[in-house]
Amino acid sequence: EAGVAQSPRYKIIEKRQSVAFWCNPISGHATLYWYQQILGQGPKLLIQFQNNGVVDDSQLPKDRFSAERLKGVDSTLKIQPAKLEDSAVYLCASSLFVLTSGGDTQYFGPGTRLTVL
Amino acid sequence: DAKTTQPTSMDCAEGRAANLPCNHSTISGNEYVYWYRQIHSQGPQYIIHGLKNNETNEMASLIITEDRKSSTLILPHATLRDTAVYYCIVRQGGQGGKLIFGQGTELSVKP
């Protein structure tokens, strides 16, 4: 079974530039997540999609970050304009939508490492 | 904020059991204990989860105390490939529970 795919793996940009990250979840996974992981910290949830609808974007800095999941499969996360503090690894995860008592298991991609100069 | 407390780092000899503790004294009745790990330059990987009973799978065992205020993840025979940051997460059951990662425990398995 193919895992969660992300591209690019690395990106270097200057502040005030724009950048976009792409995620392809595991086939059949209805739920998709974007996390931000700053060096030395655990991942922080930015946004959660259920199919192509947003479930939770309370931690997404909406003045500069946007995300979409057209057709309920692939997703893109965009930053415009980037700031120095956006330097981080951006992780995408996906899970099946199952109403089990323990909740879903999230499967993570390898991440995109963003450096803002 | 994360609802768990873990040691910052631990060492373990290769081939020995690695016992990673986690305190979650404010856990509520419908919250599960999840463990993920993150090997360097990779995304987090699910290990195991439990509610109140001890759990075991092919990767690890999870021991939860009777009062549910703490738990221990056990890797029975640690290998060098188990070197990673291990995250203990308390999460609501059902589809709405978020994974809120803390700092985790950096486990170093040494030859």
Question: For chain B, how big is the Rg over CA atoms in Å?
Answer: 13
Of chain A, the percentage scoring pLDDT greater than 90 comes to 80
How does pLDDT run across B4-59, given as a tens digit for each residue?
Answer: 999 999 999 999 999 999 999 999 888 899 999 999 999 999 999 999 989 999 99
* Residues of chain B neighbouring A101 (CB-CB closer than 8 A): 51, 93-94
User: Which residues 6+ apart lie within 8 Å of B26 measured at CB?
Assistant: B3
How buried is A23 (Cβ within 10 angstroms: 0-12 exposed, 13-18 middle, 19+ buried)? Answer: buried
How far is residue B84's CA from residue B80's CA, in Å, rounded to a whole number?
A: 9
Band of pLDDT at residue A102, cut at 50, 70 and 90: low
How far is residue B15's CA from residue A20's CA, in Å, rounded to a whole number?
A: 43
Report the residue of A36, A105, A108 to disrupt the B interface, i.e. the one with the largest count of B CBs within 10 Å: A108
At B95 the pLDDT is: 60
Of chain A, the percentage scoring pLDDT greater than 70 comes to 93
Note whether A25 contacts B: Cβ–Cβ < 8 A.
no
Strand partners, B46: B36
At A99 the pLDDT is: 59
Mean pLDDT, residues B105-111: 97
At A100 the pLDDT is: 59
How far is residue A39's CA from residue B103's CA, in Å, rounded to a whole number?
A: 11
Q: State phi, psi for B16 to the nearest 5 degrees.
A: -95, 165
How does pLDDT run across A42-97, given as a tens digit for each residue?
Answer: 999 999 998 889 989 999 999 999 999 988 899 999 999 999 999 999 999 999 86
Spatial contact of A13 and A114, defined as CB atoms under 8 Å apart: yes
At B3 the pLDDT is: 86
In this structure, are strands A112-116 and A10-13 parallel, antiparallel, or unpaired? parallel
At A98 the pLDDT is: 62
